[in-house]
Amino acid sequence: MGLLEGKKAVIVGVANEKSIAWAIAQAFRREGASLVLTYANESIAKRVIPLAESVQAEKALPCDVRSDDDLRALFAEVGKTWGGLDILVHSVAFASKEELKGSFLNTTREGFALALDVSAYSLIGMAKEAVPLMKGRNGSILALTYYGSTKVFPNYNVMGVAKAALEASVRYLAEAVGSEGVRVNAISAGPLKTLAAAGVGGFNYIAGHVAERAPLRRTIEQEEVAGAAVYLSSHLARGVTGEIHFVDSGYNIIGL
């Protein structure tokens, strides 16, 4: 029997086969979970729907995380389909390319608001709809973050601020929903070549530096993040909440 046998999981943020969210979806399915995947628009749907079918996902549903109406509709459909929910994975982040190069001083008001809305507030919006479906089920909410939330990385700029807000939201949500038996955690993954990473100027330099300096002397793989996600979403982590769990070959412990 798998670690997630019989669990119902919604995974938000699969963009293509290189997504961390996709590796998590595959790992969850191997461990026995039933899945619902989401897509933001029709162009992404063309990639996500075939992936959902390949893991026998219950459904692939549209959801623009900037829309409260879309979030309500998504979780209403999940409630109709399953009658409850055990796991929610938030793997969503966005900032315009113009905000991810050059000086942080050039951050625009509009760019700041967009990055914080999509990358951080969306977790709160999802939790509002998901938690009522998790009551009595020892639910787990899991977000994906990055070390640029607490340390300065070239060109990460407003996304670092958004990830800091996301991590603070994880802690506040953990306290807010703990009385319902719901846990909230995040994984801080090392640099991976994903669609999101492609938008960060100098990404290859950052990844190369991590590979040289991390205790394990390498970067990570999507499957390693997925393994941590299985643990944090399973009964093995039933006493863990409000945590930022690093999967980065140990880079975060290095000073000089």
Q: What is the DSSP string of 8-48?
A: EEEEE---STT-HHHHHHHHHHHTT-EEEEEESSHHHHHHH
Give me the catalytic one of 146, 147, 172, 251: 146
pLDDT at 198: 54
Neighbours of 153 (CB within 10 A): 20
pLDDT tier, 15 (very low <50, low <70, confident <90, very high otherwise): very high
- pLDDT reading at 168 higher than 90: yes
Report the mean per-residue pLDDT for the chain: 94
| Mean pLDDT across 149-153 | 95
pLDDT of residue 202: 65
Catalytic annotation present for 121: no
Per-residue pLDDT of 182-241, as tens digits, reads 999 999 999 887 656 555 556 677 788 888 999 999 999 999 999 999 999 999 999 999
Angle between helices 157-177 and 122-134 (to 10 degrees): 20
> For the segment 92-136, what is each residue's pLDDT rounded down to a tens digit?
999 999 999 899 999 999 999 999 999 999 999 999 999 999 999
Domains belonging to the chain, first-starting first, are 8-246 (3.40.50.720)
- Other CB atoms within 10 Å distance of the CB of residue 235: 12
DSSP characters over 128-143: HHHHHHHTTTT-EEEE
- Which one of 39, 121, 147, 156 is the catalytic residue? 156
**146 catalytic residue (yes or no):** yes
CA–CA gap between residue 250 and residue 219 (Å, rounded): 10
Alpha-carbon distances, residue 153 vs 87, 237, 252 (angstroms): 31, 31, 13
Q: Which residue has the tokens 């846990």?
A: 183
